[in-house]
Amino acid sequence: MMVITRTPFRISFFGGGTDYPAFYKEHGGSVLSTTINKYCYLTCRYLPPFFDHKYRIRYTKREETNTIEDISHPSVRECLKYAGIQDGIELVHTSDIPAMPGIGSSSSFTVGFLNALYALQGKIVTKRKLAFDAVHVEQDLIKENVGSQDQTAASFGGLNKIEFGGNEGIFVRPMTIPETKLRYLQNSLVFLFTGRLRISSEIAKEQIAVTSQQIKTLNQMKKMVDEAIEILNGPIDAFNDFGKLLHESWMLKKGLTDKVSNSHIDEIYDSARRNGAIGGKLCGAGGGGFILLFVPPENQLKVMEALKNLLLVPFRFETLGTHVIFYTN
């Protein structure tokens, strides 16, 4: 039996930081995000009993062990235990994007792996269960310093307002905007790789530590989610306000901790703004990875010329979320 899952990465526009339990359990959180057509692929099967190891795990490293406890990859180890897997497993990971880029790659891995393990066991589970299980694995079992938006976005897919807190814990509201608006929004976004990868958990740890001191700022960032939705509900000729709001949000996020940005990122962002970008943000917790810019189409050639040393990554929005693309007995 073999299963292949495909799980998207996400871009968060507004509200990032309010999805940490340290904030939303008391104040409620909200994000506006979309998944994109860049994916994590996981090929998973029961390992035949011919080898001198029981588990074969291939990602940037190759692990061959006889016990789950000996697996060093934390998500693989904890997902196998949580899913109650008893038989040997072979897992092969491939990705459209390098690790630690700031677009939810580790959570996409966890969601995709849980999806594959449930499929191997003949279980059909909801997107909501996958999201909650991935949050549990990462926050409670691995004890990573992660929020709850990445797992939810990877599970559900699409352009959504995701709310955190209250009795339901997580609530996903798909954004139902016309195709013409969606296309204009996509065409106004420029996605660039800064060339610097970072461990988001370390940056997030500091942000979580100062949460109690940043309640006002985080509430401002949460409010911007609804302001952004109002813009998307309005006329296309006012969509540049979406870029202006991104700029305001980025200025607030930079003030959360001194690890969110650095001189290299600031130089990139300032150059983009000088050459026609209206706003933008670094994706993820900060420090490096991908930068997203809102640039009116007529200004994009000038911006890309100014930032020609960075890798331009074309992308489109996607709506499926994690799914099984191959299954055979």
**What sign does the CA torsion over 142, 146, 152, 154 have?**
negative
Residues 196 and 292 in one domain: yes
Average pLDDT of span 262-283: 93
Average pLDDT of span 105-120: 96
Q: Which two tokens stand for residue 18?
A: 């309010």
Residues 217 and 164 in one domain: no
Average pLDDT of span 294-309: 97
Residues 134 and 10 in one domain: yes
Share of the chain above pLDDT 90, in %: 79
CATH of the domain at 188: 3.30.70.890
Number of structural domains in the chain:
2
Q: Is the pLDDT of residue 204 over 70?
A: no
Residues 184 and 247 in one domain: yes
Looking at residue 198, its pLDDT comes to: 54
Residues 159 and 67 in one domain: yes
Residues 35 and 165 in one domain: yes
Residues 183 and 137 in one domain: no
Looking at residue 244, its pLDDT comes to: 98
CATH of the domain at 167: 3.30.230.10
Q: How confident is the model at residue 264 (pLDDT cuts 50, 70, 90)?
A: confident
Residues 186 and 275 in one domain: yes
Residues 273 and 160 in one domain: no
Q: How confident is the model at residue 206 (pLDDT cuts 50, 70, 90)?
A: low
Q: Which two tokens stand for residue 121?
A: 């066991």
Is residue 291 within 8 Å of 267, Cβ to Cβ? no
Domain hosting 74: range is: 2-176+318-328
Q: What is the CA radius of gyration of the chain?
A: 20
Read off φ and ψ for residue 171, nearest 5 degrees: -135, 125
Residues 119 and 153 in one domain: yes
Residues 97 and 13 in one domain: yes
Residues 163 and 228 in one domain: no
d(CA 208, CA 279): 25
Q: Is the pLDDT of residue 213 over 80?
A: no
Q: Name the average pLDDT for the chain.
A: 92
Chain segment 25-69, per-residue pLDDT in tens: 999 999 999 999 999 999 999 999 899 999 999 999 999 999 999
How many CA within 13 A on the CB side of residue 104? 36
- Of 20-24, 189-193, 224-228, 275-279, the least confident: 20-24
d(CA 272, CA 280): 9
